[in-house]
Chains A and B, each alone.
Chain A
Amino acid sequence: MIRLTTPLTEEKVRSLHAGDHVLLSGTVYTARDAAHQRMLQCLAEGKPLPIELEGQVIYYAGPTPTPPGKPIGSIGPTTSTRMDSATPTLLALGLRGMIGKGQRSPAVMRAMQEHPAVYFAAVGGAAALMAACVTSCEVIAWDDLGPESVKRLTLKDLPLVVAADCFGGDAFRLGQEDYLRSVR
């Protein structure tokens, strides 16, 4: 198990390989469909983004409302592929990591090699359990988007798998092949 803390450097990203198990701590930002569209719109209009992307990690997630006395509600990953069309642009601006679920497009996999970055898979559907790995949650932009607003989260040991690395490695393909070999 590898312990990692954000922000991520190119060196840290290069040390990760598809299939590695990671416990991630530190600051990450939530952004999903609508926030990605707004970020692209900001860039098109020459306006600043709500987050400085260099070295940062985006978590594709929209938590449930925070219950009284807790730091956050249930939170797990949403399907990453819906963000694929915006991702190469953000990677070119220095985004170093993403947390989501499901496979990425060939264009994203190429962009992750060109601008070294890592894509982590969190366990989809384990949101009540994973809420315990978030120690703070604060809306920092686009509150009107409700569950889709950009939030700054502090993570403590969020269990993740390196789903795609900066060398083109793909844990989904590797895992499925490994399993099928084991039962042949």
Chain B
Amino acid sequence: MRDIQASAIAETISRLCVEANLHLPADVLRALQSARAAEPYAPAADLLDILIRNADTARETAMPICQDTGTAVVFAEVGQDAHIVGSLEEAVRAGVARGYTDGLLRKSVVGDPLRRVNTGDNTPAVLHTRLVPGDQVKLTVAPKGCGSENMSRLKMLVPAEGAEGVKRFVLETVRLAGANPCPPVILGVGIGGNFESVALLAKQALLRPLDEVTEDPYYRSLEAELLEAVNATGIGPQGLGGRTTCLGVRICAAATHIASLPVAVNVSCHVTRHATAVL
């Protein structure tokens, strides 16, 4: 057993909230730069230049990349030989409150979905905890803006629809989203599992670096095919036309029931932020 103080978790969460909101991940920046180089439509290329300049400005001036600093989505992988001294949930809450307050991030959370009073410190976070082997705690903060989150969709397909059904659903989602999610988007696609787990698969897919090679050749080619199809829609940056509608498609698949083919598309904008630390 190894002791990990809840206060150290709070401190780390606070730091990761700020880091994620100020620094566009290197893989996303590289994807923007290569999309810019490949963009044949001049107005679209200009818009991509603005997004690249914005990421540089955010880093250099310590300003959030986007004003929607998101809901704080936190993934905690807790080693089963680690002993957290204090409450994990309370530490995450305190860390988010401190990070969003001291880091001058926007407080975008209301305490109740219908009565809608702002909680004032961006808590609560959305916390996903998983027990893993080992004695460490791995924390990832992935702030998620809602311009893109609102465009996300889930559908229970029937198995006969297969990969073609998944492709149709992904493309339909992108077309319905249109200009709303601030394209170029990044798509996290969950396939399989069941109703509640497929949405989490889609969210986890967004954590996969855009330049990470997908090991399974079947899904590697499905990701490439989807990316090409989405970039043939013509929606383009900001929905104003162009090739670059999407910077990357990431799929997470899981076992499912013989009667079922769940699919979820978590739409994200280019500001697909995440920062990780291990305690």
Q: Which A residues between 100 and 156 are near B, CB-CB below 8 angstroms?
A: 101-103, 121, 123-132, 145-148
Q: How far is the CA of A133 from the CA of B182 in the complex (A)?
A: 20
The reply to whether A183 and B243 form a contact with Cβ atoms under 8 Å apart is: yes
Q: Which B residues between 89 and 117 are near A, CB-CB below 8 angstroms?
A: 104-108, 116
Q: Which residue of A lies closest to B236 (CB)?
A: A179
The reply to whether A125 and B64 form a contact with Cβ atoms under 8 Å apart is: no
Query: Which residue from A74, A145, A176 sits with its C-beta under 8 Å from B118?
Result: A145
Q: How far is the CA of A172 from the CA of B43 in the complex (A)?
A: 12
Q: Is A63 an interface residue (CB 8 A)?
A: yes
Q: How far is the CA of A179 from the CA of B240 in the complex (A)?
A: 9
Q: Per DSSP, are chain B's interface residues mostly helix, strand or loop, or mixed?
A: loop
Count of chain B residues with a beta carbon within 8 Å of a chain A beta carbon: 48
Q: Is A87 an interface residue (CB 8 A)?
A: no
If A78-B68, A125-B271, A161-B240 touch, whether A67 touches B63 (CB-CB below 8 Å) is: yes
Q: Which B residues between 218 and 249 are near A, CB-CB below 8 angstroms?
A: 234-236, 238-243
Query: Which residue from A73, A145, A177 sits with its C-beta under 8 Å from B104?
Result: A73
The reply to whether B120 and A146 form a contact with Cβ atoms under 8 Å apart is: yes
Across-interface contacts of A178 in B (CB, < 8 A):
241
Q: Is B66 an interface residue (CB 8 A)?
A: yes
Residue-wise interface mask of A (77-89) relative to B, using a CB-CB cutoff of 8 A (1 in contact, 0 not): 0110100000000
Q: Can you pick out 8 interface pairs between chain A and chain B where the beta carbons lie within 8 Å of each other? A: A64-B64, A64-B105, A67-B62, A74-B58, A75-B67, A76-B67, A123-B47, A123-B50
Across-interface contacts of A172 in B (CB, < 8 A):
178-179, 239-241
Q: How far is the CA of A103 from the CA of B118 in the complex (A)?
A: 27
Across-interface contacts of A124 in B (CB, < 8 A):
66, 147, 182, 238, 269
Footprint of A on B, CB under 8 Å?
40-41, 43-44, 47, 50-51, 53-55, 57-58, 61-69, 104-108, 116, 118, 120, 147, 150, 178-182, 234-236, 238-243, 269-271
Q: Is A35 an interface residue (CB 8 A)?
A: no
Q: How far is the CA of A102 from the CA of B140 in the complex (A)?
A: 30
* Other A-B pairs beyond A101-B238, A129-B50, A146-B107, 20, CB < 8 Å: A63-B67, A65-B104, A66-B104, A73-B67, A73-B106, A74-B63, A101-B147, A101-B179, A102-B179, A102-B180, A121-B240, A123-B47, A123-B50, A128-B54, A161-B240, A172-B239, A172-B241, A177-B234, A180-B241, A183-B41
Task: Tell me the smallest distance from the CB of B6 to a CB of chain A, in Å.
Answer: 27
Q: Is A62 an interface residue (CB 8 A)?
A: yes
Task: Tell me the smallest distance from the CB of A163 to a CB of chain B, in Å.
Answer: 8
Across-interface contacts of A148 in B (CB, < 8 A):
118
The reply to whether B67 and A62 form a contact with Cβ atoms under 8 Å apart is: yes
The reply to whether B61 and A128 form a contact with Cβ atoms under 8 Å apart is: yes
If A79-B180, A101-B147, A127-B54 touch, whether A179 touches B118 (CB-CB below 8 Å) is: no
The reply to whether B239 and A103 form a contact with Cβ atoms under 8 Å apart is: yes
Across-interface contacts of A61 in B (CB, < 8 A):
67
Q: How far is the CA of A145 from the CA of B65 in the complex (A)?
A: 22
Q: Which A residues between 47 and 74 are near B, CB-CB below 8 angstroms?
A: 61-67, 73-74
Q: How far is the CA of A180 from the CA of B118 in the complex (A)?
A: 43
Q: Which residue of A lies closest to B179 (CB)?
A: A102
Across-interface contacts of A78 in B (CB, < 8 A):
68, 147
